[in-house]
A = this chain, B = another copy of it.
Amino acid sequence: MATIHDVAQRAGVSGATVSRFFNGGYVGAPTRAAIEKAVRELGYVPNSVARALSAKSSRVVGLVVPSITNPFFPELAYAVEEECAKRGFRLVLCNAGGSAEKEKAFIEALAAGFADGIITSTGNCGEAYDRIGIPVVSVDRELGSGAPHVTSDNYSGGRMAFRCLQRAGRKRLLFLGVPEESTSQRRRREGFLDEARRAGVEVDILVANDEAEYSTLCDQADRLSRYDGIFAWNDIAAVGAIRTLHQAGKKVPRDVAVIGFDDIHIARLFIPSISTIAQCISEMGRAATELLMRMISGENLVGVNYLLGVELMERETTAGKQGGGHETTRHPEFGDSRGSGAARAYGHHLHSRLRTSHTGGGS
């Protein structure tokens, strides 16, 4: 690989001038032409590592996710990457895979000059984010520290899920979660339980082993069959539940209604199509990236948080017991409303109304 000095020599100028040629400084027209020629002939591309060392900035953002096989996270990564690219940043996807050890290693590596900032959707080792010296924003999770976070209104989503199942005439309800308790899962469950309590309905909780994501929960078929309404904490779990019920000979939604959370692509395509609480994933990615960029520019955003509205996508899996429509119905019951489902599906950028909360003091 040619270096800046090779170019300089060939063009008959100094390295400093070549550097200015690339970074915008005084360069005379003849010099400029000579450098252009040398660059072309040598196929010179500035070395990004050397540049990063000198600039003390790599223009790289690290995104730490707990899983890459749950489509929610690739969809999030897509949104973050888009927004980063717009601002000339590159995205490095780090899949912690549920291992706190791996996550810690990623954080350390990212902080060691590798990245200018971190967006994380994993909360396994919150303390590790505290003293690393580069900006951190969390999305879909809350870190213990004062790092800004972007989350959906999970609590309202939980309430919506309950009301949806109730409208479908369901009485014996179950919340289906996983062992690692994220703030997101907790909020969803609390909303669901609170709304049930208010309605005087009892709800059971089942913590399924999530070790094999996409698991069919086979060993839990009997358990699931006891209910006629299930709120799965995310869409992947909903798919697993529906599949399990199917294999146990139960019909969804006739015997059991199921509602998920996230509105990943597959929810709309599944047969029966899966009712779910939609998060605006692209907006989450956009907002998180924006916050991070502001922090990288030096702003202090401690305690600045975004809370995004969610929306009920009522599809086939929560049809009423008497049968019901097959069309998706949108119900922005609580929180702010969001853009239309069609727009989301085609990736348009929605600037949904945000609730910005300041829970801590910026200095």
* Interface positions of A (Cβ within 8 A of B): 1, 43, 45-50, 52-53, 58, 68-69, 71, 74-75, 77-78, 81, 85, 90-93, 95, 97, 102, 108-109, 111-114, 131, 133, 212-214, 216, 239-240, 242-243, 246, 265-266, 269-272, 345-346
| Min CB–CB distance A132 → chain B (angstroms) | 9
Across the interface, A71 reaches (CB within 8 A) one of B69, B85, B97, namely B69
- Please name all residues of chain B whose beta carbon is closer than 8 Å to the beta carbon of A50 when the two chains form the complex: 53, 113
The CA of A354 and the CA of B95, in the complex, are separated in Å by 28
Known interface pairs A47-B112, A81-B95, A212-B346; 12 further A-B residue pairs with C-beta atoms within 8 A, sorted by A's residue number: A45-B111, A46-B112, A48-B109, A48-B114, A49-B49, A49-B113, A50-B53, A78-B97, A92-B92, A213-B265, A214-B265, A271-B272
- What are 19 residue pairs bridging A and B, where the CB atoms are less than 8 Å apart in the complex? A1-B133, A46-B112, A47-B53, A49-B52, A50-B53, A53-B53, A68-B74, A69-B71, A69-B265, A71-B74, A74-B74, A77-B95, A90-B109, A92-B93, A214-B269, A216-B269, A240-B269, A270-B270, A271-B272
Contact B68 A78 (CB under 8 A): yes
- Please name all residues of chain B whose beta carbon is closer than 8 Å to the beta carbon of A97 when the two chains form the complex: 78
**For the complex of A and B, 7 pairs with smallest distance between CB atoms:** A49-B113, A93-B93, A47-B113, A214-B265, A48-B112, A68-B74, A243-B269
| Min CB–CB distance A239 → chain B (angstroms) | 5
The CA of A48 and the CA of B272, in the complex, are separated in Å by 49
The CA of A52 and the CA of B114, in the complex, are separated in Å by 10
Contact A48 B239 (CB under 8 A): no
- Please name all residues of chain B whose beta carbon is closer than 8 Å to the beta carbon of A246 when the two chains form the complex: 271
- Please name all residues of chain B whose beta carbon is closer than 8 Å to the beta carbon of A111 when the two chains form the complex: 45
| Min CB–CB distance A285 → chain B (angstroms) | 12
